[in-house]
Amino acid sequence: MTLILSNEDIEKVLEMDSLVPVLEEAYIELVEGRGGNRRRSDIVTPTTLRDDGLYALKSMDGVIPKLGVGAIRLNSDILTFPTNGNEMRRVKVPAAPNNRYVGLVLLFSTHNGEPLMICPDGVMQRMRVGATNGIAAKHLALAEADTLAVLGSGWQAGAAVLAHAAVRNLSDVRVYSPNPKNRKDFALEMSEALNIDVRVCTSGEEACKGAHMVACATNAVMPVFAKEWLEPGMHIGTVRPGATEVEKAAWPEIEIFVLLDHDDNAEMIYTHGVLVGEDKVGSYGVEHDDWHNSLPSLPQIINGDREGRTDDTQCSCFLNNLGMGYQFAATGYVVYQKAKELGLGTELPTDMFTETVHP
């Protein structure tokens, strides 16, 4: 039987305490050459829905033999690029019937190839990004780090807080985002989740002052963290590709940069001369140059192949340069095991998704 899950089902079973160790283990498998990840592929075209939008078909996949699973993530998106003052954002539009988004994860068995699970990608997407930033903080932040500043109050920001709480005993969490209501609601939600008082700040500078760790968790394609906010020993995490959330003027002052992975170039296919790159969607990753190639990857840091922090005064920054289908294999494994244990979801005959005709 093939398990069909909803985002609501996944929210019931996917927790940072269970995801972080499995994802960390999966990264070791990857750097040791026992796991496989294929780089992301995007096809970007015009859309008939609206003149200021684009259509994007995206896929990414990975296989983790140790866990017995492979996964592919598929997205069919309508993208728009609204501006607020001088800030441009990359925003997906819920354009499918009933105002919904389209993102799927297909999980397969490496034992016999069968489809184990089909589910939406939204909750898994949020949690795998948050967990990865938490793992980076675990290995790069000061050993005594217990203060977190969050820049952003949306979907990804919540996961960032939960992930940092899973790897550090947080005593002080502050949040800033441009929308006062959003940041207030976010603080209330996270206060309840962490059982501590999450403070609302009126500026990014106020939030970052004295923070051991900073989580940049926005959909901005322009910087949200300024050079002047850097303090000795600070660790910064990002979710947007290309470190666009960190002001480039700050880069020379940051001693340690760590990438998610070196193979971060997506295969980008554009049609009809649509505008892309910095003009439309922001950089899709750190440029492949000598500086980029010299940086350690997070799996190398976890595995001890490359050195991370060596001094308590060093500033570090994790660059979430591009998401990996491999992460969905690890996250899907956690979801599938727990959902089966609890009897969640709907089971359909696997024969509906397999065939007798030789592919």
CATH for 94: 3.30.1780.10
Cα separation, 215 vs 213, whole angstroms: 7
Q: CA-to-CA distance for 351 and 203, rounded, in angstroms?
A: 55
In a domain, 359, yes or no: no
Instruction: Tell whether 148 and 288 lie within a shared domain.
Output: yes
Could you tell me if 256 and 234 are in contact, meaning their C-beta atoms sit under 8 angstroms apart? no
The whole-number pLDDT of residue 39 equals 86
| Structure tokens given for 210 | 């004295």
Q: According to the model, what pLDDT value does residue 283 have?
A: 44
Measured between alpha carbons, how far is 2 from 23 in angstroms, rounded to an integer? 23
Q: What per-residue confidence (pLDDT) applies to 281?
A: 45
Same domain as 297, residue 179: yes
**Per-residue confidence (pLDDT) for residue 218, from 0 to 100:** 86
User: Where residue 172 sits, what CATH number does that domain have?
Assistant: 3.40.50.720
pLDDT of residue 203: 96
**24 in the same domain as 7:** yes
Residue 343 falls in which region: left (phi positive, over 0), alpha (psi -120 to 50) or beta: left
> What are the tokens at 160?
């960032």
Q: Are strands 69-80 and 91-93 parallel, antiparallel or unpaired?
A: antiparallel
β-pairing verdict for 91-93 and 103-109? unpaired
Question: Is residue 358 included in any domain, yes or no?
Answer: no
Alpha-carbon dihedral sign for residues 137, 142, 144, 150: negative
Token duo for residue 18: 């269970």
Antiparallel, parallel or unpaired: β 213-216 and 235-237: parallel
State whether 37 and 146 are in the same domain: no
Same domain, 185 and 289: yes
Number of domains in the chain: 2
The number of beta carbons lying within 10 Å of the beta carbon of residue 331 is: 27
Residues in contact with 354: Cβ distance below 8 Å, sequence separation at least 6, in sequence order: 114, 115
For 222, left (φ over 0), alpha (ψ -120 to 50), or beta? beta
pLDDT at 217: 92
- Whole-number Å distance between alpha carbons of 235 and 312: 11
Digitized pLDDT (tens) for each residue of the chain, 359 residues in all? 999 999 999 999 999 999 999 999 999 999 999 999 998 898 999 999 988 889 999 999 999 999 999 999 999 999 988 877 766 777 899 999 999 999 999 999 999 999 999 999 999 999 999 999 999 999 999 999 999 999 999 989 999 999 999 999 999 999 999 999 999 999 999 999 999 999 999 999 999 999 999 999 987 768 899 999 999 999 999 987 656 789 989 999 999 999 888 765 667 777 877 654 444 444 444 455 566 678 899 999 999 999 999 999 999 999 987 789 999 999 999 999 999 999 999 999 999 999 999 87
Q: Looking at the structure, do residues 154 and 234 belong to the same domain, yes or no?
A: yes
For residue 90, the model assigns a pLDDT of 76
**Rg, C-alpha atoms of the chain:** 20
Structural domain span for residue 46: 2-122+325-353
CA 209/CA 211 separation, integer angstroms: 6
**Does residue 101 belong to any structural domain of this protein?**
yes
Residue 327 · residue 70 · CB < 8 Å: no
Where b means 16+ CB within 10 Å and e means fewer, 89-112 reads ebebeebeeeeebbbebbbbeeee
Does some domain include residue 107? Answer: yes
| Residue 195: how many other CB atoms lie within 10 Å | 7
Whole-model pTM?
0.90
Taking phi over 0 as left and psi of -120 to 50 as alpha, with beta for the rest, 91 belongs to beta
As a whole number of angstroms, the distance between CA 25 and CA 137 comes to: 16
Beta strands 53-64; 147-151: pairing state: unpaired
